[in-house]
Structure 1
Amino acid sequence: MSCLIVMSQKELHRLERICEVRRGSLTVVRAAELLGLSRGQVHRLLRAYDQDGADGLRSKKRGRPSNRRHSEDFRNLALDLVREHYADFGPTLAAEKLLERHRISVSKETLRQWMMEAGIWVSRRERKKRVFQPRGRRDCFGELVQIDGSHHWWFEERGRKCALLVYIDDATGKLLHLRFAASENTFDYLHATKAYLQQWGKPIAFYSDKHGVFRSAHASLKDRTSGLTQFGRALYELNIDIICANTPQAKGRVERANQTLQDRLVKELRLRGIDTIEAANAYAPEFMADFNARFGKPARNPKDMHRPLADHENLDGAMCRKEVRKLSHSLTLRYDKVMFILDPTERATALAGKKMVVCDYPDGRLEITHDGVSLPYKTFDTLRSVHRADVVENKRLDDMLSIVAELQAGRQQQRSKSGPRRTGQTDHMFGIPGGSQRSGYQTRGAKPGRKTDFTKDPVVIARRRQALATRDAAE
C-alpha cells in the first residue's frame, strides 16, 4: 500500500493494465496499444510485476539526483551573485541579469527554487498581506474631520460625471457637509470649507489623503508655510491643522461613507429626478439629516471641539487663492496672463517696487492688497496665452474630456484667409466654379508640388485681356 502512495499517475495506469493482463481480461497486444508500448516492453513489465509486485513498476530513478543537475559550486556562485547585486530582484529579472552581465545561464524556474530555498525570494502565495489594525474613533465631536472627494456618476446617465466633496466627523460618523462640484479642485474645496466653518466652526484638524489640493510635494524643512498648498495656507491662517493619511485604509471612515453614498445617494437622486449639480447641492442638507439619523453614533465625550473664529481671523480673506506679485514702478503687475494697473493714488505710488498679494476668490472676485488693505485697480491688457498641453490629474480626466468635446463641437472650421486669391473663385482652396483644374496650384506645364506664378500664365493673361476689351467696348 505504501508503494502505491508514491507511484505516479502513469505508473498507476500501467499497474492497472498489467493486472488486467494477469487476470486474463486483457491481451498483451491490446495492453501494448493502450500503454503505447511494444509487446516486448509489456512482457518486461509482466516479469517485473511477477518478481517484485507493484514496486517493480516504479521508476528506478525516483529518489536519485538528476544527471542534468547543476553542481553545488555553480548553485552557490549564482546565489552569491544574486545576494550581492540582485537581492531585491525577482527570479525572472535576476536570471536575465546573470546571463547578460555574468555569462551565467540558468532557467528562471531553477533560480526561483534556489532563491526560495535560500530565503532570498518569497513566493506570492507565502507573502503575508499587510495588516491594517482598526483605529478607534476620536472621543469628541469636531476633534478630527475626515474629508475626501468621490468622483462618480452621481446622476447616472442623466448628467455628467462629477465629484462629491464629503466632510464626515470621525467621532460620530455624521456627515457634516456635502458639496457637488465639477471636479476635485482648490476653489471648490475652499468654497465647501468656508460653508462648513460658517455652520460648525473650526475643528481641531482635517484628515485627508495626499491629493495635490492638500499636500505639496516640495515642502521645506526650514519654513513651515513655504511648502503649503493654497488650501493648506488657508487653514494655517485660521489655526486649523491638516493631516494627510498615508493609505486609504487609514481614513476608512470617509472611504466607507463614499461607498454608502454611491449606493444610497445615487438612488435618492434618481427617485427625485435630480440631474444637475445645483439641484443636488440644494437636496444635500435633507439627505444628510436622514443619513445622520440612521448611521450617526453618539460621541464618547459630549464636548464639542469646534472653535469659533477669533476676532482677528478673516474667513473670507483666508478662503481664497493668494499669489505674491511685485508691483512695477509703472504701478502694474501680472496675474493669470492678465495685466493689472493700480490707480495712481498716493498709497499705490509709495508701494512701487514692493510685493503685493493677489487674492483670487472662489466667487470670481479679485483683490490686490498690501498689509490687508485693498487697492483699486483696472485691467490694462489681456495677455496672449500660449496653448500647450494641460497637465490633468487622473480624477479630472473625465471633466477635461467633456470640456474638450464641447469646445470641438462649437469650433467652426474656417478657411485660411492668408491663401492666394484668384479671379472668379468662390473658394480659394479649390479651382474656379465648375471644377476646372487649371486655376489650381498645378497648371499645364507646371511641375508637381510647385506653385505656379499666375501673373505669367498665358491662359490667365489671355482671360484678363479679354475682360479688359469687353469692359472698354461697353464703355
Structure 2
Amino acid sequence: MNATGTITMTMRELDRFKVIQDVADGRLKPWRAAERLRLTTRQVRRLVGRLREHGPAGVVSRRRSKPSNNQLDAVTADRALSIIRERYADFGPTLACEKLYECHGIRLAKETVRRLMTDAGLWIPHRQRPPKVYQPRARRARVGELIQIDGSDHRWFEERAPACSLLVYIDDATSRLMMLHFTATESTFSYFEATRAYIEQHGAPGALYSDKYSVFRKTGANKDGSSVTHFGRAMYELNIDTFCANSSPAKGRVERVNLTLQDRLVKELRLRHIDTREAANACAPHFIASYNARFGKVPRSAFNAHRPLRVDENLDTILTWREPRRVTCALTLQYDRVIYLLDDTGTDRRLVGRYIDVCEYPDGRRDPRRWRRPSPQALWPALRD
C-alpha cells in the first residue's frame, strides 16, 4: 500500500487474491485452491486468515520493497569491480568471472559480474550495441579476376538419394556460374577435382575467394612450421591467390547463389529424373548456361583475366596431397603405416636425414617426390587471408 492508500498488485498476486477471496466466501474448497495455486492447504488457510484480517493487502508479498537476503554486499562488489577495472577491463563477463575466482578467490555468478560491468560502463550488452554495417564491395572489373567458391551440403536429390555436397564457383565480376561439381563431401581432393575441371575449361583465374573451412585455412601449424593447407600450397604453385572471408556477408554473392540453387537446381533435377551425382555433373553445363543467360551481368572490362597454364605447370603433380617424411639411414620412410624403400643409389643416399614429400593422388596412388619443398617463409606471403 502506498501513501495514497492504493494497493499495487502484480498479475500473479491479483490471481491469487481472486482465488483466496473465493475460498473466504465459501465458493471454493481450500484443497481446490491449493491445487490451482500450487500451494499447500495449510498455506491457503493462512492466506485466508490474512485476507480477513488485513484485507487485500494481506495477500501482497511482505518482502516487497525490502532488500533481498541474497543481495551482494557493497564491500565485495566494490572489491570485485576495482579488480576488474585494474586488470580485466577488456575481458568479457564470463572470463572476468572465472579469473576473479581463480586468481582472487571471489566467487560470483557470471550474471552478477555482467551487471557490475554493465553498470560501470565496462561492458555493453549485445542488444544495446549498434548493428554492424557491411558496406557493399564493388565487383571486380574482369572475368576471372576473382572467383568465389563455396560448398553447399543439401539434399539435392530430395528423397531419391542421400544428401551430398555441391561445389560452386561463381565469377565476382559477372555473377556467372563458372563450375558446379557434385561430390560426396567437401574435401581437399574434391576441390582438387573441381578446380582441375575449372582450369581445363576456363583457364587459371587470378584469385579464389573462400570461407575459413579447413580445406582453405589451417588453425594449427604443419611440421615445417607453416599453416598452409594442401589446397593453398597447390594454388600457390599455380600462381593463384587465395583469400579467406572473415564473414558470410563478405562473400555474399556465392551465398545467395547457394540459396537460389537449393530452389531452382533441386527442382530441375527432379524434372529431369536425376538421382545420381554422375548424372547431375553431366547435366550441370546445361543448367549453368540457362542460369547465366538469366542472371549473368556484363563486366566493366571485356578483358578475360583467365590465363592458360604454363608448360611447367603439371596439374597431375600439383593437385596432390603432400606429406613430408624424413628419410632414415636405412633409406626408408613411413607414411600411413606403410614403409617405403628407396633405391640404394648415390642420389638417394644423399637424402638420408632430409625430408622429402610423399604425394598422394586422387586415385590412391602414392609416390615419394625427390625435390626440395619451398620454405614456409616463401609460401606464407602469397597465401593472404
State TM-score, norm by structure 2: 0.70
Cα distance in 1 between the residues matched to 2:83 and 2:199:
60
Structure-2 change in CA distance of 1:350 and 1:260 (3 Å): same
Residue 352 of structure 1, aligned match among 345, 349, 352: 349
Whether contact under 8 Å (1:152, 1:262) holds in the other structure is yes
Cα distance in 1 between the residues matched to 2:77 and 2:333:
71
Q: CA deviation at 1:174?
A: 0.9
Deviations 1:438-463 (A, max 9, x none): xxxxxxxxxxxxxxxxxxxxxxxxxx
Whether contact under 8 Å (1:326, 1:353) holds in the other structure is no
Amino acid at match of 2:182: F
> 1:442 maps to what in 2?
none
Cα distance in 2 between the residues matched to 1:324 and 1:71:
61
Deviations 1:237-267 (A, max 9, x none): 1111111122222212212211221222122
Whether contact under 8 Å (1:95, 1:107) holds in the other structure is no
> 2:182 maps to what in 1?
180
Amino acid at match of 2:205: P
Residue 135 of structure 2, aligned match among 133, 136, 141: 133
Which structure 1 residue ranges, 5 or more long, are not aligned?
15-28, 45-60, 373-475
Within 5 Å, which residues of 2 pair with 1:418-437?
none
Cα distance in 1 between the residues matched to 2:79 and 2:188:
57
SS of 1:116's equivalent in the other structure is helix
Within 5 Å, which residues of 2 pair with 1:72-471?
75-84=77-86, 87=89, 88-90=91-93, 94=97, 102=105, 113-218=115-220, 226-325=226-325, 333-341=333-341, 350-354=347-351, 357-370=357-370
Q: CA deviation at 1:350?
A: 3.7
Which structure 2 residue ranges, 5 or more long, are not aligned?
15-23, 26-46, 58-62, 373-385
Structure-2 change in CA distance of 1:180 and 1:65 (3 Å): same
Amino acid at match of 2:306: H
Q: CA deviation at 1:197?
A: 0.8
Cα distance in 1 between the residues matched to 2:168 and 2:139:
18
Deviations 1:270-296 (A, max 9, x none): 222222111111111111111111221
SS of 2:243's equivalent in the other structure is strand
Q: CA deviation at 1:102?
A: 4.8
Q: CA deviation at 1:113?
A: 4.5
Whether contact under 8 Å (1:140, 1:305) holds in the other structure is yes
SS of 2:149's equivalent in the other structure is strand
Structure-2 change in CA distance of 1:95 and 1:141 (3 Å): closer
SS of 1:228's equivalent in the other structure is coil
Deviates more, 1:187-196 or 1:116-125: 116-125
Deviations 1:359-410 (A, max 9, x none): 33223444454469xxxxxxxxxxxxxxxxxxxxxxxxxxxxxxxxxxxxxx
Deviations 1:44-89 (A, max 9, x none): 9xxxxxxxxxxxxxxxx99x99698877656533422443455435
Q: CA deviation at 1:185?
A: 1.3
Amino acid at match of 1:296: G
Q: CA deviation at 1:175?
A: 1.0
Deviates more, 1:304-313 or 1:95-104: 95-104
SS of 1:262's equivalent in the other structure is helix
Percent of residue pairs identical? 47
> 1:425 maps to what in 2?
none
Amino acid at match of 2:188: T
Whether contact under 8 Å (1:327, 1:352) holds in the other structure is no
Amino acid at match of 2:123: W
Deviates more, 1:310-319 or 1:142-151: 310-319
Structure-2 change in CA distance of 1:280 and 1:121 (3 Å): same
Cα distance in 2 between the residues matched to 1:267 and 1:337:
46
> 2:20 maps to what in 1?
none
> 1:450 maps to what in 2?
none
State TM-score, norm by structure 1: 0.58
Amino acid at match of 2:232: G
Cα distance in 2 between the residues matched to 1:369 and 1:166:
32
Cα distance in 2 between the residues matched to 1:288 and 1:82:
57
Cα distance in 2 between the residues matched to 1:96 and 1:336:
43
Cα distance in 2 between the residues matched to 1:174 and 1:231:
23
- Larger RCO (alpha carbons 8 Å, 6+ apart): 2
Q: Give the structure with higher Rg (CA).
A: 1
SS of 2:170's equivalent in the other structure is strand
Whether contact under 8 Å (2:84, 2:96) holds in the other structure is no
Cα distance in 2 between the residues matched to 1:92 and 1:219:
27
> 1:445 maps to what in 2?
none
Note the aligned Cα RMSD (angstroms). Answer: 4.6
Cα distance in 1 between the residues matched to 2:152 and 2:236:
25
SS of 1:179's equivalent in the other structure is strand
Cα distance in 2 between the residues matched to 1:143 and 1:98:
53
Whether contact under 8 Å (2:322, 2:359) holds in the other structure is yes
Structure-2 change in CA distance of 1:111 and 1:204 (3 Å): closer
Deviations 1:145-178 (A, max 9, x none): 1111222222222222221111111111111111
Counting matched residue pairs gives 336
Deviations 1:98-155 (A, max 9, x none): 6995567x78776654433211333343234433332221121111111112222222
Cα distance in 1 between the residues matched to 2:213 and 2:241:
16
Q: CA deviation at 1:331?
A: 6.1
